[in-house]
Chain A
Amino acid sequence: MAEQLFDVCVVGSGPGGGIATYVLARAGLKVALVEAGKRLRPGIDFNSHGSPYEHLEDRLRAGLQPGTRNVNGYSERNHFVPVGDRPQHGLLKALGGRSLCWAGHSLRFGPLDFKRWPISYDEVAPYYSRAEKFMGVYGNRDGLSNMPDGEFLKGVPLRCGEQMLKRGVERVKAKGRRMEFVAQRKAILTEPHASRRPVCHYCGHCMGGCEVDSKYTSANTPIPAAMRTGYLTLFLDCTMTRILTDNSGRKVQGIEFVKADGKQDRIRCRALVLACSAVETARQLLINTGGEYPNGLANSSGQIGRNLCSHFGLSVTGVFPELRGRDASNDDGTDYYHSLLTALNWDKPNPRFEGTYQVQCGAGLHPYRLGVRNVPGWGSSFKRDLRDWNACHASMGMQGSLLISSRTFIDLDPQKKDRFGVPLPRIHLHYGDNDIAMAQDMVETCEEIIHAAGGRVVSSPGRVTSETLNIDYNHWVGTARMGTNPRSSVVNTSGQSHDVPNLFLTDASVFAAYPEKNPTLTNIALSWRTSDRLVEKFRSGEIS
């Protein structure tokens, strides 16, 4: 059978790939979307409303941990090789990718954050607006300088414990500290929306997979819209194993992939969009080598896999006796974190470390995922404290940006391969003194806030070491960074490869620098922008 020819082949259907597919198909380009996983059907393939042990026996038999039968059960395992300080990597092969299990946090990077990018906030701002309107993002207009307000649906209020933290922040600010405590902004519908997805019913299972599609995912909004154009062909359960190029490695011609039945196939395309995640996209480019590009496709700079960054953190928890006896019967809301401590070190760097962090704050009683578990004692008093402390607690989860380091990067494992014989990526992670100093500041700041609010710290790492830090396995960025100099960057300001003009990247691999804010909204805005540029190149004949 003749190989099918498409204008664009998009590989990966997560946040970046989903929006690219929509923008390209809506422009009338013939698009192939290649996704390694299948479509997960709410209520059939996952049931986040079910109790954790409802399918206990099935899960255990399948080698899974006990827990709710949610979309995270479909995450890949053993798909990378960890090196150093316990790196983790979330990879969900399913239509929608990790947009299925994201929390929905949608924070704009601010003008200061873009100072180290080759593009400015003003250039991205229109795409933030488009993305927010398209996705449906709730939030309050807080007027913060470096986390600009967006196109918001009505916000979701704080819980009692979070209100206590806000009180603590106000008291600490009165002593001269610069910080702000605001409600979260999330891509979850709080009122009717053009997408016709239903308004949230506040069950709190957002990250387990929203069963009713109130939370934005690639699978429930851009991909169905792209399907309606008639220009999209879905290739599900298809794993890309090779990128086909001409001999020079300067032009992509298509991809080779393996289907669910194990058979190999190819499709041809005029342009290729990779949106496989910062780790997987780097891996795919590194494994594709040739005589003219021995270090990997689009890698004349040698930067692919370098500049790896993610968020890291730890948490501090307090209890507030004042909240004892309150009605804590339904605090579910839109998952755990409803609030955010932000505006720390934005315009006045901390002398002890470089960079910034934010603190995601949550509260509320949820028996399946108790916020406080380390209650001392036993017997009736222990049982009572377990209930009361959880009803009265608030927790603060740090999210700081790793300092870019030559010791933290991605390369290919020389021995280990996946089931298709393709080398696995190695993730090298090594925390530095800067990271530890930042985390120590976070611990001290959070403890101060809890005390100022009249609370008691019941869980804290105290003195921070690299052993106490945890990496955010969903927030890797920067492995194919954007820049104007082809010798020090992988893609230009349009997300187009410097080396391979018909290759575009639309995941977080292109991030040129990483602030403390969650990456997905910026990923989607940049993907939209890159896709618009790609459409322009087709219309101008630059790509044909």
Chain B
Amino acid sequence: MERRELFRILTVTALAGAPADAQHDAHTKALPASEKAQAPRFFSAVEYKTLEQVCELLLPSDSEGPGAKEAGVAAAIDTILYYADARLKQSWRSGIAAIQMMANGKPLASIMDSLAENESTPKTEAERFFGMLKRAAVEAFGASTAGRQFFGYRGDTAIPAFTGCTHPEHLH
């Protein structure tokens, strides 16, 4: 069964940027243009850049496959927030601001360990926001063509029979 393009609707405002390196290029060639960058509608340009960077640090494009940028993770979050209620919008604005404040001009990569340090019991606003951002990023990544490609998923197709586990060693 043919899969439709993810984020098709986002093509309306897509601004397909040139990939930064050859590996990135190799991944994006296989992806629909709709999963490439677009102009933000909710976030300011500065906020969006922060969001994009954190998402890419979280889910990087690497030797094992495409990452957040190819999956259009930041674009999906921006679109959802564009239609969200004021409270949710404010929580994301505050969260991005908290991360920017924590970074204080340093590269965002330098604060990722700190952000992730207390994941199970977040203590600061930035840590709490990181958890929320991570959940949203994982959701969008999994739903994307790039995510499916990374996961090696070949389902959602018509198959004549379901074979299930064929490993007797898994039972004993």
Contact = CB atoms under 8 A, between A and B. Distances in A.
Interface of B: 1, 3-10, 57-60, 62, 64-65, 67, 76, 79-80, 82-83, 112, 115-116, 119-120, 134-135, 138-140, 142-144, 147-148, 150-165, 167, 170-172
B40 to A, nearest CB: 15
Nearest to A65: B80
Nearest to A156: B162
B167 to A, nearest CB: 6
A131 B148 CA distance: 39
Contacts of A333: 162, 164
A166 B169 CA distance: 12
A367 B7 contact: no
B165 A162 contact: yes
A164 B83 contact: no
A486 interface: no
Contacts of A382: 58-59
A338 B164 CA distance: 10
A264 interface: no
Given A54-B4, A378-B116, A384-B64, 17 more contacts: A50-B4, A51-B5, A53-B6, A53-B9, A53-B143, A56-B80, A57-B79, A157-B162, A170-B171, A203-B1, A328-B152, A329-B154, A332-B155, A332-B156, A332-B162, A376-B116, A376-B119
A207 to B, nearest CB: 14
A39 interface: no
20 contacts: A50-B4, A51-B3, A54-B4, A54-B9, A66-B80, A156-B162, A157-B164, A159-B164, A160-B165, A160-B167, A163-B167, A166-B171, A202-B162, A328-B152, A329-B155, A330-B155, A365-B153, A378-B116, A379-B57, A383-B150
A499 interface: no
A41 interface: no
Interface string A26-66: 00000000000000000000000111111111101100001
A158 interface: yes
Interface of A: 49-58, 60-61, 66, 156-160, 162-164, 166-167, 170, 200-205, 322-323, 326, 328-334, 338, 365-370, 373, 376-380, 382-384, 386-387, 390-391
6 tightest CB-CB pairs across the interface, nearest first? A157-B164, A60-B83, A201-B158, A367-B142, A329-B154, A57-B9
A77 to B, nearest CB: 15
A200 B161 CA distance: 8
A158 B166 CA distance: 9
B118 to A, nearest CB: 11
Contacts of B165: 157-160, 162-163
Contacts of A204: 155-156
A51 to B, nearest CB: 5
Contacts of B158: 201-203
A99 to B, nearest CB: 23
A202 B158 CA distance: 6
A330 B170 CA distance: 18
B170 A163 contact: yes
Given A367-B143, A379-B60, A156 B164 contact: yes
Contact of A56 (B79, B135, B157): B79
Nearest to B135: A373
A377 B139 CA distance: 16
A51 B6 contact: yes
Contacts of B60: 379-380, 383
Contacts of A383: 59-60, 62, 64-65, 67, 150
B112 A330 contact: no
B128 to A, nearest CB: 15
B153 A329 contact: yes
A367 B1 contact: no
Contacts of A166: 171
Nearest to B2: A49
Contacts of A391: 151
B163 to A, nearest CB: 7
Contacts of A366: 153, 155
B155 A163 contact: no
Interface centre among B112, B119, B144, B165 (most CB of A within 10 A): B165
B156 to A, nearest CB: 6
